[in-house]
A and B are shown apart, each in its own frame.
Chain A
């Protein structure tokens, strides 16, 4: 099993297509960091303009933690597209080039193939997020330094002490991994049905876009179905940046305002992953390979 996993990872990282996502993330993050480095203060003033009359801020508002938060907000919508490039190609890509039948005539069960392929896709997703974390968090800290993180929510401001932020990023990236694994599992499921990778890749991206639109539209009829859409729960990483306050309205360090919501969303995403991968394995086990 470990050998099969090694082989699957070897195949993923030998393909030039794999590195498109790493290069795209590096490029996008670099552009955001460059823009904020050159004109970040103006951007922060603009964003905070409606609260600057009520509050006065000390220290560096534009610090590495805030830059990382801005990057995450912008990129976590697009990363699923990059995940789909690899995950939705795992089975269909092999069917397309004809290697699937060669693989299936080796002394390996179909369950093992599916398991190894999904784990390989999951490791790819993990590495992509680690890459993103290194560039978005550590490089931003190096470029912009650290200070308290101030985030503007819809109806209030959250101020997180600089010594209370780092663990939240670890939590947020961990949750983002779960969200991205859900995307990978969806791509993996669609991959089983197709004989070329374009259909599953476009299919995965279309479902994500469609569900994300439904998840974000504040129309009553859509709001009723939003709790059942996995895309609604994919953004729960933001809850790591909300904190409890005491009766004097002072922040309680190390707390999470919506901890139960984060746990609930995590379970829903895990259930989706199990369902998507289980369904993919069920279908693949019974599928006649005719390509």
Chain B
């Protein structure tokens, strides 16, 4: 599938702190690309680098195969974005904010077009109201309206449901799916909530402490026939060595302390258990992780200091 965003070996250092470490990923055209990680994982820094707000220490970013560093203006004609909460000009109305950003994008929409855009995000009735009187959800919807005013093919949304009530979250989710399915937009969406990404994303990237953990299609990650199996043994190093020299080698994801994580079909678990028994592995625990959420919490847990053996 054609990639519209290509990120290669991206790193960002703030003094002594490495916010993003050697991150590479590709966003396929037409996808809803879920960018997942706990707070402080490096999602916002990565998105800010994608939007030229923060300069990368190392690495490259290409949109449509064009390097961002020297073609920002050209690229951003085709990109709409909201970074965290959409702070708008509170002393202007929704209509004035929208019109102003349309102008900045070199378009001069008619009154009808502006009202249609406000209608799309459910703000037509409040078009003339000052934005400072808006709720967080209304500001978020107006922010999306502004991000879409120039009809971009890529939309980047950083934590778009932060601070919204359940109805607001549902509205934004519906709008994102609609934009992807009906308007064929490519959407890069960051969140620290797996449940949110799970319901919309076609592709998922999980990062933790600035490093990539997993990048795969949602179909592969959410395959109901597969699960992550966590085992705990008395001799982790020996078990790992046995697994690496067996047919289970390709199933190993990573190990963490006394635990090893493998990905396999549910119906493979009995055979796996038999092999461990035959090898006389001092097994202390074998537990299928039933959801990706379990897995996400495991891989991004605090004090995570695993050696990643393999990225899927």
Please indicate the chain B residues that have their CB under 8 angstroms from the CB of A216 in the complex.
none
The residues in B between 35 and 63 inclusive whose CB is less than 8 angstroms from any CB of A are 48, 51-55
Contact partner, A107, options B55, B83, B100, B106, Cβ 8 Å: B106
Q: Which residue of A lies closest to B14 (CB)?
A: A288
A290 to B88, CA, bound (A): 16
The residues in A between 97 and 144 inclusive whose CB is less than 8 angstroms from any CB of B are 97-99, 101-109
Please indicate the chain A residues that have their CB under 8 angstroms from the CB of B222 in the complex.
none
Contact partner, B72, options A3, A98, A99, A109, Cβ 8 Å: A109
Please indicate the chain A residues that have their CB under 8 angstroms from the CB of B54 in the complex.
288-290
A10 within 8 A of B: yes
Please indicate the chain B residues that have their CB under 8 angstroms from the CB of A6 in the complex.
103
B262 within 8 A of A: no
Please indicate the chain B residues that have their CB under 8 angstroms from the CB of A253 in the complex.
none
Please indicate the chain A residues that have their CB under 8 angstroms from the CB of B88 in the complex.
99, 102
What 1/0 flags go to B76-107 for Cβ under 8 Å of A? 11010111011111111000100011011110
Q: Which residue of B lies closest to A99 (CB)?
A: B87
Known: A109-B73, A286-B55, A290-B54. A7 touches B89 (CB 8 A): no
A155 within 8 A of B: no
A102 to B85, CA, bound (A): 10
A37 within 8 A of B: no
**Does B48 contact A289, Cβ atoms closer than 8 Å?**
yes
- B266 CB, nearest partner CB in chain A, Å: 45
- A98 CB, nearest partner CB in chain B, Å: 3
**Does A104 contact B89, Cβ atoms closer than 8 Å?**
no
**Does A107 contact B74, Cβ atoms closer than 8 Å?**
yes
**Does A102 contact B146, Cβ atoms closer than 8 Å?**
yes
**Does A10 contact B146, Cβ atoms closer than 8 Å?**
no
A101 to B73, CA, bound (A): 15
**Does B89 contact A105, Cβ atoms closer than 8 Å?**
no
**Does B103 contact A289, Cβ atoms closer than 8 Å?**
no
- B43 CB, nearest partner CB in chain A, Å: 14
A6 to B54, CA, bound (A): 27
Known: A7-B103, A7-B104, A10-B100. A107 touches B77 (CB 8 A): yes
**Does B85 contact A98, Cβ atoms closer than 8 Å?**
yes
**Does B53 contact A105, Cβ atoms closer than 8 Å?**
yes
**Does B87 contact A105, Cβ atoms closer than 8 Å?**
no
Please indicate the chain A residues that have their CB under 8 angstroms from the CB of B87 in the complex.
97-99, 101-102
Please indicate the chain A residues that have their CB under 8 angstroms from the CB of B86 in the complex.
102
- A80 CB, nearest partner CB in chain B, Å: 25
A7 to B105, CA, bound (A): 12
**Does A106 contact B76, Cβ atoms closer than 8 Å?**
yes
A169 to B267, CA, bound (A): 93
Please indicate the chain B residues that have their CB under 8 angstroms from the CB of A10 in the complex.
100
A199 to B82, CA, bound (A): 28
**Does B53 contact A107, Cβ atoms closer than 8 Å?**
no
A288 to B103, CA, bound (A): 25
Please indicate the chain B residues that have their CB under 8 angstroms from the CB of A78 in the complex.
none
**Does A105 contact B104, Cβ atoms closer than 8 Å?**
no
A11 to B88, CA, bound (A): 12
A4 within 8 A of B: yes
A224 within 8 A of B: no
A153 within 8 A of B: no
Please indicate the chain A residues that have their CB under 8 angstroms from the CB of B74 in the complex.
107
**Does B51 contact A104, Cβ atoms closer than 8 Å?**
yes
- B53 CB, nearest partner CB in chain A, Å: 4
- A85 CB, nearest partner CB in chain B, Å: 15
Please indicate the chain A residues that have their CB under 8 angstroms from the CB of B75 in the complex.
107
- A245 CB, nearest partner CB in chain B, Å: 55
**Does B73 contact A107, Cβ atoms closer than 8 Å?**
yes
Please indicate the chain B residues that have their CB under 8 angstroms from the CB of A11 in the complex.
89, 92, 100
- B220 CB, nearest partner CB in chain A, Å: 32
Please indicate the chain B residues that have their CB under 8 angstroms from the CB of A109 in the complex.
72-73
Known: A102-B146, A106-B101. A14 touches B92 (CB 8 A): yes
A106 to B150, CA, bound (A): 10
- A135 CB, nearest partner CB in chain B, Å: 27
A137 to B298, CA, bound (A): 75
A224 to B101, CA, bound (A): 51
What 1/0 flags go to A226-258 for Cβ under 8 Å of B? 000000000000000000000000000000000
Contact partner, B55, options A4, A7, A99, A288, Cβ 8 Å: A288
A16 within 8 A of B: yes
Q: Which residue of A lies closest to B85 (CB)?
A: A98
- B190 CB, nearest partner CB in chain A, Å: 14
Please indicate the chain A residues that have their CB under 8 angstroms from the CB of B51 in the complex.
101, 104-105
Please indicate the chain B residues that have their CB under 8 angstroms from the CB of A97 in the complex.
87, 89-90
22 contacts between A and B (CB under 8 A): A3-B103, A3-B106, A11-B100, A14-B91, A15-B91, A98-B85, A98-B87, A101-B87, A102-B82, A102-B101, A103-B104, A104-B51, A105-B79, A105-B83, A107-B75, A107-B104, A108-B73, A109-B72, A288-B53, A289-B48, A289-B53, A290-B48
- Give me 13 other A-B pairs in contact (C-beta within 8 A), A14-B91, A104-B53, A288-B55 excluded: A7-B100, A101-B51, A101-B53, A101-B83, A102-B101, A102-B146, A105-B51, A105-B53, A106-B105, A107-B73, A107-B77, A107-B104, A290-B54
